[in-house]
């Protein structure tokens, strides 16, 4: 995970590591993560599978309804039941019966497994009370909102879920994610048959850009590390910033791709456009390059489909990716020599 947890074992970062970096063959982990957030409002710690099923199924139903793939295998009795319920071919009681018996296969055992192994800081344990199978919530679940990150978690999970299910639906490991600055939306272009349409591609919207990016910055401003929110109309609602300003885009014959995922960061409003010392269109100081490289490596380690997008644009290995950023920054400095650093730094970064 490229040291995502190496210097930061906070409850928030442990939770994020589950849905950002966990290897998935189904989207069940996202639904379970959303369920845990909801369960923290209950006044008990043991949750039977019977009690968990309606909450868990609710989140799965929302995504199955879109028609996008939720598993990499060819079939699943649980997914089939969700689809039949959406078609009004089975009732809620029948759906919950299947959910309790089929919906938790593997996901409860695999939830805490990340690329580096199993997390020590767990959010639940498997438990049996009487004859009821279930999970026992740990204190970590109830501490998730200690730093006001709950709404960020919900949005980040949805953003990640949207990216994964679209990549699986398209069955395209080289899916290239693009950014619409006006709509602040990630999208990709799907090839279509030229003979039937005026254009050879159609646009498929993925997710608002803040949702998938925020988790990799751990809910912090890219520049000053201050707390940010990805919800609208909050005092600390974040901005989307081009690390290398877009004004540099046409100063070279090279394809700089400054509207690419690799160059997009989330910042607090003060760093981006504050009256005192806002960045605006200035070039970030060279010392910030390593931070951008680090954030991009987090995205690459997450897989589907931001990984391939960044690799296609910046390089196939870490050395070439670091050189790519260095060279574009060097060109930007030669074009516009106004260098910028934030006035203050808060916390230990991301």
Q: Which residues, other chains included, contact 340 with Cβ-Cβ below 8 Å and sequence gap of 6+?
A: 277, 279, 282, 283, 284, 285
Give the tens place of pLDDT for each residue, 213-242: 999 999 999 999 999 999 998 999 999 999
pLDDT of residue 195 exceeding 70, the answer is no
pLDDT band at 349 (very low <50, low <70, confident <90, very high): confident
Q: What is the pLDDT of residue 193?
A: 62
Q: Which residues, other chains included, contact 261 with Cβ-Cβ below 8 Å and sequence gap of 6+?
A: 177, 179, 186, 299, 306, 309, 310, 313
Ranges of each domain in the chain = 11-142, 150-340
> How is residue 68 written in tokens?
């996008």
Q: Pseudo-torsion of CA 95, 49, 11, 185, nearest 10°?
A: 0
- Give the separation between CA 293 and CA 251, rounded to whole angstroms: 23
Give the tens place of pLDDT for each residue, 74-128: 889 999 999 999 999 999 999 999 999 999 989 999 999 998 899 999 999 999 9
Q: What φ, ψ does residue 281 adopt, rounded to 5°?
A: -105, 20
> Do 114 and 108 touch, CB atoms closer than 8 A?
no
pLDDT band at 145 (very low <50, low <70, confident <90, very high): confident
pLDDT band at 138 (very low <50, low <70, confident <90, very high): very high
Q: What is the pLDDT of residue 3?
A: 84
- Tell me what the mean pLDDT of segment 28-42 comes to: 96
What is the sign, positive or negative, of the torsion defined by CA atoms of 154, 189, 306, 291? negative
């Amino acid at each position: 995970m490229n040291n995502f947890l190496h210097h930061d074992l906070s409850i928030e970062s442990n939770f994020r590591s589950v849905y950002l970096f966990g290897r998935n063959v189904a989207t069940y982990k996202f639904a379970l993560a959303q369920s845990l957030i909801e369960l923290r409002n209950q006044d008990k710690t043991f949750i039977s599978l019977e009690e968990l099923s309606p909450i868990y199924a609710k989140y799965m139903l929302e995504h199955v309804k879109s028609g996008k793939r939720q598993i990499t295998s060819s079939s699943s009795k649980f997914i089939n039941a969700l689809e039949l319920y959406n078609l009004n071919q089975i009732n809620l009681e029948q759906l919950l019966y299947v959910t309790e018996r089929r919906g938790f296969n593997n996901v409860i055992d695999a939830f805490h497994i990340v690329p580096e192994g199993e997390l020590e800081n767990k959010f639940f344990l498997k438990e049996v009370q009487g004859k009821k199978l279930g999970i026992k919530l740990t204190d970590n679940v109830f501490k998730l909102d200690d730093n006001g990150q709950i709404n960020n978690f919900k949005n980040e999970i949805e953003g990640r879920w949207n990216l994964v299910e679209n990549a699986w639906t398209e069955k395209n490991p080289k899916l290239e994610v693009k950014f619409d600055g006006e709509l602040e939306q990630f999208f990709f272009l799907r090839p279509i048959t030229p003979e039937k349409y005026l254009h050879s591609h159609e646009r498929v919207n993925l997710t608002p850009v803040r949702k998938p990016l925020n988790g990799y910055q751990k809910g912090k401003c890219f520049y000053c590390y201050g707390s940010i929110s990805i919800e609208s109309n909050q005092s600390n609602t974040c901005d989307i910033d081009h690390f290398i300003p877009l004004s540099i885009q046409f100063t070279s014959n090279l394809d700089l791709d400054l509207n690419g995922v690799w160059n997009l960061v989330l910042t607090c409003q003060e760093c981006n456009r504050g009256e005192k010392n806002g960045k605006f269109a200035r070039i970030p100081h060279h010392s910030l390059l390593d931070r951008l490289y680090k954030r991009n490596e987090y995205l690459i380690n997450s897989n589907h489909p931001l990984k391939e997008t960044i690799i296609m644009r910046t390089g196939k290995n870490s050395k070439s990716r670091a050189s790519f950023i260095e060279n574009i920054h060097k060109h930007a400095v030669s074009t516009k020599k106004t260098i910028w650093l934030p006035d203050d730094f808060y916390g230990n970064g991301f």
